[in-house]
Amino acid sequence: MKNTFGNALCVTIFGESHGPAIGAVLDGLAPGLAVDEEFIRHQLALRRPSGRISTARCEADEFRIVSGVHEGRTTGSPLCILIPNADTKSGDYSTSIARPGHADYTAECKYHGYQDARGGGHFSGRITAALVAAGALVLPALGKKGIVIGTHISRCAGVKDAALSSDEATLIHQLSALNDIPFAVLDESAGERMRAAIEAARAEGDSVGGVLETAIVGLPAGLGEPWFDSVESLLSHALFSIPAVKGVEFGDGFALADQLGSVANDTLWMQEGRVVTKTNHNGGIAGGITGGMPVVFRCAIKPTPTIAKTQKTIDMKTNTQVEYGGRGRHDPCIVHRARVVVDSVAALVVADLLTQRYGVEGWQ
């Protein structure tokens, strides 16, 4: 449904990079959920560019909730949150040149020239701020249910981070720590090397990508559906909405393709009266349905398309070959900024799955 996602809990997003505002409508929220504006600010800050490894455009992300909240709690009516655009420099973008790696050409094919091309328009990563705000509205309620979501930069510019723990208590500790730091790595020395590599790419007028790894702990067993609404289907649908995500894998993912069945099968085990698996090769999901183990997935983030280096491309007005050197403000890497977007859409999917299973009344 284009710009709406979700079955029982739906999020609708809107906005363009250089328009008056971007925003989201959340519909299907249970009434009475506490709205933590400070937390929304915290999450938006995690997405904001920072220092030399990001774009120079910096939005304050002052948001405004215009409906669905009364006296600090959700009313149960649709919640609309607006984030005005303030720091826009449209002069940078007025051109008919199709930037390589961007959606300029595909947008032209789809919208026949009527798209608002300034700053990437509706395709801009800027719109992910609306997703982050929406996610921040449901994350506290998930936390109250004992569900913890967190993401680390598993790989960036060729540098690897340490691994998430397979021990659940340690994992929760790791995820909580990640949620408080702007550059989400478990091993800060790896983080330093990543940032150095990003700066090096920037100095070359180039950009880098990476892999984000996410864990969701505390999900009840039995969420999801065998077929089209498998947990993998719903999460991947939402994750591939995030610009730059080009791959999604669950558990061992592509590595499972080379394993033997006797290895890939996660042995079921009784542990203090609870059913667990010894390993988690399948990322906490079997037959599309959660089994109570951490749900683990990874997203491949491609390098930012806007670069300073001169590239060949076409002018869409004249249909001629031209050279293009990146103008406008941009990021040599968005992996660290995309992390909170991944957490946010994961939170929205989880909240939807819970609402489908337990109803709107299930949140009381």
Q: Which residues ranging from 64 to 103 are in contact with a second copy (CB under 8 A)?
A: 64-68, 70, 73-80, 82, 98, 100-103
How far is residue 269 from each of residues 261, 281, 345, measured CA to CA in Å? 18, 15, 31
Q: In the range 130-189, which residues lie near a second copy by CB under 8 A?
A: 155, 158
Q: In the range 13-42, which residues lie near a second copy by CB under 8 A?
A: 13-16, 19-23, 25, 27-28, 31-32
Nearer to a second copy, 72 or 189 (CB): 72
Nearer to a second copy, 7 or 166 (CB): 7
Report the DSSP beta bridge partners of residue 23.
Answer: 14, 82
Q: How far is the CB of 181 from a second copy (least distance, A)?
A: 21
Q: In the range 294-323, which residues lie near a second copy by CB under 8 A?
A: 298, 300-307, 309, 311-314, 319-321
- Which residue, 125, 134, 150, 118, is CA-closest to 49? 125
Handedness of CA 221, 261, 152, 132 (dihedral sign): negative
Q: How far is the CB of 238 from a second copy (least distance, A)?
A: 7
Q: How far is the CB of 4 from a second copy (least distance, A)?
A: 6
- 246 contacts a second copy (rule: CB under 8 A): yes
Q: In the range 185-244, which residues lie near a second copy by CB under 8 A?
A: 201, 205-211, 220-230, 232-234, 236-238, 240-241, 243
- Which residue, 298, 184, 299, 185, is CA-closest to 251? 298
- Which residue, 48, 330, 50, is CA-closest to 201? 330
Asked if 326 and 205 count as a contact pair (C-beta separation under 8 A), the reply is yes
Asked if 53 and 335 count as a contact pair (C-beta separation under 8 A), the reply is no
Q: How far apart, in whole angstroms, are the C-alpha atoms of residue 11 and residue 79? A: 9
Per DSSP, 220 falls in state P
Instruction: Print the binding letters for residues 258-297 with a second copy: x by CB under 8 A, - otherwise.
Output: xxxxxxxxxxxxx--x-x-----xxx-xxxxxxxx-----
Nearer to a second copy, 38 or 258 (CB): 258
Q: How far is the CB of 176 from a second copy (least distance, A)?
A: 26
